[in-house]
Structure 1
Amino acid sequence: MSSPMVPPSLEDPQTGVSSKDIVISNNSNPPLSARIFLPKSHQNNHKLPILLYFHAGAFCVESPFSFFCHRYLNLLASEANIIAVSIDFRLLPEHPLPAAYEDGWTALQWVASHSSNDTTTNNNIETESWLLDYGDFNRVYIGGDVNGANITHNLAIRAGTEALPNNLKILGALLCTPFFWGSKPIGSEPVEEHENSLAMKVWKFVYPNAEGGIDNPMVNPCAPGAPSLATLGCSKILVIITDKDEFKDRDILYYESVKKSGWKGEIELFDAGDEAHGFQIFKPETDRAKQLIKRLASFLV
């Protein structure tokens, strides 16, 4: 079940962040929309980093308009002084993967199209004034939590081989407890129950036609035959792990594999402690969540 829908706010009472809902593209059904967040610091006339954000929810639940995601983006936009664009990508059961990946690429192209200062984008949707007036297109980030971090990785891989509008370059990718899996258990993953694990069941449900099954590179970026991680199309990466997260071993393997790949960027691994994934979204008032949000903000500069 998703958390309740909440409206955008001209000024969030806790953070002072403004938000509004926008349409990115009418070329899909339903149209691709987003909620954009603007911190109070935009009044200082400094250009702000831009974060294209993809929410958690196993590709099945939640949205930019739901309570948990809205509250979290208000806090992150305020702490990091960024413009955040939270994407309403298509969900299961109506839209199995790769629909969410396609929506992510469309959204990234849309953000990039603003860097030319044109008045309209290629798909005839009006440009977003908050991006044009306050966004720094030399500091564009992509990021997300769990399945949203999986989308982020796959966008970075695609951006490494396909040019974005105006040749925009992604500065960084933020992967909070990314949802990766594979056919063979690793680390502390249970051997006998691996085939019947919740992660395996979710992946088979959300991506039923994945070529190569669970070792499709979009599911398992460390699988044999996956695109080289050296081609990741960004300059820096931050991977967040938590001690109670069932994907922790996968995420450490991902971090180590990127380091060994010959990729020219900088990758960091941060252990947020004895928590389950998404804890900073559900319990942002805790000290550990506040510490993590500050760590994310220090990356998004």
Structure 2
Amino acid sequence: MDSANLEVAHEFQFFRVYKDGCVEKFFWPTQKIPPSDDFITGVQSKDVIISSEPEISARIFLPRLSDPSQRLPFLFYIHGGGFSFESTFSPLYHPHIRAIAAEANAIAISVEYRLAPEHLIPACYEDCWEALQWVASQANGKGPDPWINKHADLDRVFIGGDSGGGNISNTLLTRVGSIGLLGVRVVRAVMIHPFFGGREDDDEMWLYMCPGNGGLEDPRLRPVARDLARLGCERVLVLLAENDHLREVGGDYYKRLKKSGWKGTVEIVETTREEHLFHLFSPTTEKALALIKNVSSFINQD
């Protein structure tokens, strides 16, 4: 930020906007770490380019292979950060997704989507949809990434994310259920502490970042029954935290989905006495490890 006008026009939880249009983010810049081979878990990681225009990249995680010919479940993960900060390459998300890949014995990809308000919503939704289509384009085993070609079972695709990433996951699932995704079968979805508005500051920030919105009843912010009824997967797991400010809207999402007429099954697990995204900030605690096991078990359940 380099604002010549220090008069604030808008101030939100994660950033403020000055009258000359400059943006000051409170959690910026996000630290990023390179991909690596982890000698403890055996998980390898690498970065790939999804698109150069717009610029979309991703990090892929490949667990240790006991059989080089085996096909593994595939997790498509979307990081959180209020649509405006954080990164799949950060010290919070890299070990988190690596841990899921190791515990679930699954290939995982996490998308580095464009952030608001520099790139207004729906950029983040469109970037993640393009990345999901990029994955689907490799269903014939002749795509640009050898890990996906050789080891991904694209008949067992899982979509998931936390906070804002959980919100984006819901919109992707609605699209999959509405228009399909050729060559891919999305079987389940995991939403960790998902964001669906609810507090005045959260709502106002989302509406500012998404000027082409439908108000507080925009279906991306408040999913409606007709969209929930056509989610393109068979099962959904919603994870909540008791002391999370998003607990109520996450629980409401679970109730709405159950009543929507959707033919799948949804389950909910709540961690007691914990805050929003506690597992990212204290990943070695008993409850954080239990969350990873919950997600991994859900991926591998028959």
TM over 0.5: yes
* Counterpart for residue 137 of structure 2: 113
Given the alignment of the two structures, is residue 8 of structure 1 paired with residue 24 of structure 2, yes or no?
A: no
- Whether 1:175 aligns to 2:157 is no
Cα deviation code 1:14-54 (max 9, x no counterpart): 4221000001123x33x211000001136453211101110
Contact 2:50–2:134, Cα closer than 8 Å, also in 1: yes
Aligned counterpart for 2:48 among listed residues 22, 36, 39: 22
Alignment of 1:1-301 (within 5 A): 1=27, 3-9=30-36, 11-26=37-52, 28-29=53-54, 31-41=55-65, 43=67, 45-117=69-141, 119-120=142-143, 127-166=144-183, 168-182=184-198, 194=199, 197-210=200-213, 212-222=214-224, 227-301=226-300
Mapped to 1, the partners of 2:136 and 2:271 lie a distance apart of 31
Q: Tell me: CA distance 1:270–1:213, structure 2 relative to 1, closer, same or farther (3 Å).
A: same
Structure 1 segments unaligned to the other structure (5+ residues): 121-126, 183-193
Which whole-Å CA distance do the structure 2 matches of 1:42 and 1:132 have between them?
17
Distance change (3 Å), C-alpha of 1:179 and 1:265: same
Contact 1:54/1:148 (8 A) holds in 2: yes
One-letter code aligned to 2:34: P
| SS of match in other structure, 2:92 | helix
Query: Aligned-pair RMSD on alpha carbons?
Result: 1.6
What is the CA deviation profile of residues 207-258 of structure 1, one whole-angstrom value per residue up to 9, with x for unaligned ones? 2321x21210000114xxx633111111110001111111211111111111
Structure 2 counterpart SS, 1:87: strand
More deviation, 253-262/153-162: 253-262
Question: What SS does structure 1 have at the residue aligned with 2:178?
Answer: coil
Distance in 2 between residues matched to 1:106 and 1:8, nearest whole Å:
22
Could you tell me how far 1:169 is from its partner in structure 2?
2.1
Long gaps (5+) in structure 2: 1-26
CA distance in 1, matches of 2:248, 2:108: 29
For 2:251 and 2:187, the matched residues in 1 are separated by 22
1:189: which partner in 2? none
1:156-195 C-alpha deviation (Å, 9 max, x unpaired): 01111112133x221111111110025xxxxxxxxxxx5x
**Letter of the 1:130 counterpart:** W
Which residue identity is paired with 1:180? F
The answer to whether the 8 A contact 1:149-1:176 is kept is yes
Does structure 2 retain, via aligned residues, the 8 Å contact 1:203–1:214?
Answer: no
Structure with the higher fraction of residues in strand conformation: 2
Q: Which amino acid aligns with 1:250?
A: V
- What count of residue pairs does the alignment treat as equivalent? 273
Amino acid at match of 1:147: G
Equivalent-residue separation in structure 1 for 2:77 and 2:176 (angstroms):
16
CA distance in 2, matches of 1:206, 1:265: 32
- Which one-letter code corresponds to 2:216 in the other structure? I
Partners of 1:245 and 1:78 lie apart in 2 by 27
Higher RCO (Cα < 8 Å, 6 or more apart):
1
Q: Distance in 1 between matches of 2:274 and 2:39?
A: 28
CA positional deviation for 1:78? 0.7
C-alpha deviation, 1:83, in angstroms = 0.6
Give the TM-score normalised by the residue count of structure 1: 0.86
